[in-house]
Amino acid sequence: MKYLRPLIAVAIVLAAVAAIGWYVWDQNTGGLPEGFATGNGRIEADQIDIATKVPGRVAEIRVSEGQLVQPGEVLAVMDTRELEAQLARAEADAARAASQVEEVRALIEQRRAERTLAEEEFTRATELAERGVNSQAVADTAKTRLATSEAALNAALAMLNTSERGVDAALALVTQYETQIADATLTAPVLGRILYRLSQPGEVLGGGGKVITLLDLSQVYMEMFLPADEAMRTGLGAEARIRLDSIPYAIPAYVSFVSPEAQFTPKQVETAEEREKLMFRVKVRLPEELVKAYIDPGQDRVARGCLYPPCRGRGSALAGRIRR
């Protein structure tokens, strides 16, 4: 036993050195064989700002931060009382314009009847003047009356066109107010999760005022930066894996974007050597069906890609693996 103790101590030291060497190698290479690229990034999702289209007061907000919402689900409602009053007025104006059209059409029928009578009188007066029964002055008067009735008919036809355009304008205004009232109900455009409630009921917002920020769960990805020699060999659709620092397994993904332009390394790359290099932005996207499968907040946070806002806000580094 006296001779075995030094041997055991040497073995322990050798094992410790091997473990340290393996750890250093794994940290420097990621434990990857040749032919793979690796980079650091963050799991992100596209943010959609749900905003008002016209100025108004927030009547109610029906969702809370962190809530999962379906496409078309109502998120908030703006006060529409003023718009509804304007709509009622526009509908009344449209009805009045339609009545004016009917009045003008009745006037046109009257003017046509007058012209018909004037034509008949002019025909009779002309015949009688030719036979010498009436004077030429009577025929000339009938001719003038005919020209006047034709002018009145043409004016009535022009009034009809103006009245019909007035109806079109009134109906367009009705449609405008109806659209604004419909836009006052803010709905979710995609499947997503509420990230922020930026306004509260009772607040008055201008046009384009932000009410809610929504995470689009159909667009979940990680952005990282690769040097030129690795980026040029990374193709769109290439298989990828995303590994969280604290999780022993990888999340499947694929390359959805490789920037055609180089840029300086972003600030989150800490070493001076790395910051001096030009890098290409690469986006690794999680399949939508995978995200949907683990979208319930009760599911494991890691399997969900840390998309629930409390987890997402921690800013933990993620490592991506791309096979070229």
Q: What would the pLDDT profile of 47-88 be if each residue is shown by its tens digit?
A: 999 999 989 999 999 999 989 999 999 999 999 999 999 999
Q: Check whether 175 has a pLDDT greater than 60.
A: yes
Is the pLDDT reported for residue 147 higher than 70? yes
Tokens of 270: 């800490």
Average pLDDT over residues 13-28: 56
The pLDDT value recorded for residue 301 is 45
Range with lowest mean pLDDT among 95-99, 143-147, 317-321 = 317-321
CB 164 within 8 A of CB 108: no
How is the chain split among helix, strand and coil, in percent rounded to 5?
45, 30, 25
Tell me the pLDDT of the chain averaged across its residues.
78
Could you give the CA distance from residue 254 to residue 238 in angstroms, rounded to a whole number? 6
**Minimum mean pLDDT among 75-89, 213-227, 297-311: which range?**
297-311
How many whole angstroms separate alpha carbon 242 and alpha carbon 41? 9
Q: What is the pLDDT of residue 311?
A: 39
- What Å distances lie between residue 136 and 21, 125, 127, 142, CA to CA? 127, 8, 10, 10
Identify the residue with better confidence: 138 or 93: 93
What fold, for 32-77+194-323?
Elongation Factor Tu (Ef-tu); domain 3 (2.40.30)
Residue extents of the structural domains in the chain: 32-77+194-323, 81-182
Q: Which amino acid is at 216?
A: D
Binned at pLDDT 50, 70 and 90, residue 14 comes out as low
Residue 276 has pLDDT above 60, yes or no: no
Structure confidence at residue 25 as a pLDDT band (50, 70, 90): very low
As a dihedral over the C-alpha atoms of residue 82, residue 86, residue 89, residue 90, rounded to 10 degrees, the angle is -160
232: helix, strand or coil: coil
Q: Return the H-helix or E-strand segment holding 136.
A: helix 136-183
**Residue 218 · residue 191 · CB < 8 Å:** yes
Burial-class residue 38 by CB neighbours within 10 Å (0-12, 13-18, 19+): middle
Does position 275 have pLDDT exceeding 70, yes or no?
Answer: no
Q: Which has more confidence, 172 or 122?
A: 172
Q: Is the pTM of this model over 0.75?
A: no
Strand partners, 22: none
Percent of the chain scoring above 90 in pLDDT: 28
Report for 102-106, 125-129, 191-195: range of highest mean pLDDT: 191-195
Rounded Cα distance between 195 and 189, Å, is: 15
